[in-house]
């Protein structure tokens, strides 16, 4: 049984007209960094509950819940959430979901964390907690791909994590629709194919030393998975069969 409970909206950070963060307070059950929950609001017009899955960006040991959301043009729930005010209530599941957690990742030399858009959330949760990660990998590479520079709203946190990990964590941003001297330009599969990403990081992606986590836009996840499968001989990681790629889609 996984009941709905009330969450109180403490704050809404509106980064733009299509990106925002909800800060919530709720008595949820303990969760694992990298897991997701479900939020819901009641649609009075249609007399039904509208629900959607969202990942935590906060670590499990933080008091408040932080959820990074993209406002979909015709998405009913995301627009309702965007228009909430401090003090409002939203429904949240008591127990969390998913296996996109560090405990599911096999030991390796280099852990690659690829994210597009709001898919950065689970990695922030994992890295902020620091549990069962810092001593298991020689290198951790966090890559965040967005369309425009102003969508890198969590870059300050990424830079803080970089300092926290004292040289073990490398961070790299990618922008697909404009150029910036601190970021690579293009889509992730393209930057893997021409090896610009690995050259910039100074590490290679291969089945002998690497594990790749993919989180974000389903097209990025699909294309990157097929590139790694066809060009690097990497396979999907399953509990029953060890592999090199772990995936989570964001719709």
> What pLDDT, in 10s, does the model give residues 55-105?
999 999 999 999 999 999 888 999 999 999 999 999 999 999 999 999 999
Write down the pLDDT at residue 251.
56
Coil vs helix vs strand at 185: strand
- Asked whether the beta carbons of 92 and 17 are under 8 A apart, the reply is no
Band of pLDDT at residue 157, cut at 50, 70 and 90? very high
Q: pTM score > 0.75 for this model?
A: yes
Query: Angle CA(233)–CA(239)–CA(242) in degrees, nearest 5?
Result: 30
Say how far apart CA 155 and CA 193 lie, in whole Å: 25
Task: Select the more confidently predicted residue: 62 or 249.
Answer: 62
Write down the pLDDT at residue 234.
98
Coil vs helix vs strand at 102: helix
Say how far apart CA 132 and CA 79 lie, in whole Å: 37
- Asked whether the beta carbons of 37 and 96 are under 8 A apart, the reply is yes
Write down the pLDDT at residue 43.
86
The Cβ-side half-sphere exposure at 209, using a 13 Å CA radius, reads: 9
Residues 6 or more apart whose CB falls under 8 angstroms from that of 222 comprise none
Q: What is the mean pLDDT of residues 224-231?
A: 98
Lowest average pLDDT, out of 41-50, 96-105, 213-222, goes to 41-50
Write down the pLDDT at residue 46.
79
Return the percentage of the chain with pLDDT > 90, whole number. Answer: 90
By DSSP bridging, strand 184-185 and strand 210-216 are unpaired
């Amino acid at each position: 049984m996984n009941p709905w409970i009330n969450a109180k909206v403490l704050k809404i950070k509106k980064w733009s007209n299509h990106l925002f963060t909800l800060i919530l307070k709720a008595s949820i059950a303990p969760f694992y960094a990298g897991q997701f929950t479900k939020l819901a609001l009641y649609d009075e017009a249609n007399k039904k509950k509208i629900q959607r899955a969202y990942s935590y960006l906060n670590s499990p040991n933080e008091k408040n819940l932080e959820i990074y959301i993209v406002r979909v043009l015709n998405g009913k729930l995301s627009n309702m959430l965007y228009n909430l005010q401090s003090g409002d209530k939203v429904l949240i599941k008591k127990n969390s979901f998913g296996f996109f957690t560090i405990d599911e990742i096999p030991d390796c030399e280099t852990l690659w964390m690829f994210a597009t858009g709001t898919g950065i959330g689970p990695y922030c949760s994992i890295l902020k907690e620091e549990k069962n990660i810092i001593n298991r990998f020689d290198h951790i590479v966090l890559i965040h791909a967005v369309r425009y520079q102003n969508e890198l709203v969590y870059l300050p946190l990424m830079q803080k994590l970089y300092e926290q990990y004292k040289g073990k964590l490398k961070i790299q941003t990618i922008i697909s629709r404009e150029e910036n001297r601190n970021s690579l330009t293009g889509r992730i599969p393209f930057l893997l194919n021409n090896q610009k990403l690995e050259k910039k990081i100074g590490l290679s992606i291969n089945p002998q030393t690497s594990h790749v986590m993919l989180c974000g836009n389903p097209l990025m996840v699909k294309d990157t998975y097929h590139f790694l499968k066809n060009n690097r001989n990497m396979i999907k990681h399953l509990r029953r069969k060890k592999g090199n790629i772990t995936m989570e889609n964001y719709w």
